[in-house]
Homo-oligomer: A and B are copies of this chain.
Amino acid sequence: MKIEAVDFFYLSMPVVTNAGDGSQDALVVRLRAGGLEAWGECEASPLTSIASFVCPMSHGACRPVGASVLGEDVSSPADIARIAATIQWNSMDLLQAAHTWSGVEIALWDLVGKQRGEPVYRLLGYDKAYPKMPYASQLFGDTPQQTLEFCRAAKKLGYRAVKCGWGPFGRGTVLDDADHLNAAREGIGPDGILLIDAGQIWNEDVEAAAKRLPYLEAVKATWLEEPFNGSAYEAYGALAKRSGVVKLAGGEAAHNIHMARHTIDIGKVGFIQIDCGRIGGIGPAKQVADYAAGKGVTYVNHTFTTHLALCASIQPFAGLADHRICEYPVKPQPMAWEMCKTHIAPDKNGEVRVPEAPGLGIEMDLAAMKKYLVDAEIKVAGKVLYRTPSLA
């Protein structure tokens, strides 16, 4: 199938706030080839990613992502890997390229799956997609009382695992953090799985993070996520040595498989969190899942947007029965929820599964997308390089 068109749709809530809520906008990719239509999603900064798809070439190793995609022939996973390798070379000096390509790559898996009549996880070599236990991914409250209420609410919704992150955590004293941790544990109850996300707050200050360890241990936190900058592997490794039963989690910032492997090998995380919309899509994410499994590290998806992104993010570890936990955005913005007709909802056991339909199996809601579609235009030297395409 020849790739005939790659269209980018920039969707956004009418008002975007500075909360750490990644579901406020989205960059959706529609790919057309061989009479089929396939969908993918890039993570974050839609306008910048669109620019890196359409920008003029700077030189041979800094070409726009689009130049390596349009017109290419794709009929197999090997073809997807071939284009990925071309982009790694042709867009070597274009930093944003990894994020942009990620959404296109996801759409290519959807395409090949649809053409073969197989769900993506089968194309990845898995026989079966195991159920995952969704954890409610939410922000800390502004106060411990609010954190308590948020966690109680998640428990009431049936979540057995809850993640609290960002907000005030790490910004006040150690005891302030302890109050939030205690509130979270109280909210989810003694048996709930409690996950804590520090959102890189300590940059690479190992001692600052270490001061929280006794309190994390006291509330039986399963993991401490992103204590440091995503590239500060040594800081991760140093903290991991001291963190005892509280495992470290990280990796969402990885924009290539090398970075994910360093997070495992040097950072010594217990959980490797991969964002398919950043690392280059489903192919490299699956390589990380294989690598993690071989090292006794648990793979977890990183997702805070739509069910299209969620579905893509589960495929790489769908067949790993023991890698059970799955990030699941609890309170996405209406845009992020409405744009997909298909949702990955918890079943009566509170577990989620990827669809068995061909490709990603996510049907888009074009009418809903229209509501949130942002009109954008990029012109260079009098030529329109991008204009929001029609959803029809």
Contact = CB atoms under 8 A, between A and B. Distances in A.
A20 interface: yes
A284 B52 CA distance: 25
Given A62-B45, A375-B380, A380-B374, A95 B92 contact: no
Contact of A95 (B25, B88, B96): B96
Contact of A18 (B20, B60, B92, B229): B60
A58 B378 contact: no
A48 B50 CA distance: 8
Given A51-B47, A63-B18, A94-B44, A374 B381 contact: yes
Given A52-B96, A379-B377, A382-B375, A62 B47 contact: no
Interface in A9-63: 10, 12, 16-22, 24-25, 43-48, 50-52, 54-63
A342 interface: no
Main secondary structure of the interface of A (DSSP, over half): loop
A278 B93 CA distance: 9
A212 interface: no
A62 B19 CA distance: 10
B55 A47 contact: yes
A60 B20 contact: yes
Q: How many copies does the complex hold?
A: 2
Contacts of A385: 47
B22 A59 contact: yes
A258 interface: yes
Q: Which 9 A-B pairs have the closest CB atoms?
A: A231-B258, A51-B51, A18-B60, A47-B55, A96-B96, A48-B52, A377-B379, A44-B93, A48-B51
Given A44-B58, A47-B54, A266-B266, 18 more contacts: A18-B57, A18-B60, A19-B59, A22-B62, A24-B58, A44-B59, A45-B62, A47-B385, A48-B48, A48-B95, A61-B199, A93-B253, A95-B96, A95-B99, A231-B256, A233-B262, A374-B380, A374-B381
15 contacts: A18-B63, A22-B62, A25-B58, A44-B59, A47-B55, A47-B385, A48-B52, A95-B95, A95-B96, A96-B96, A204-B258, A233-B258, A375-B379, A375-B381, A375-B382
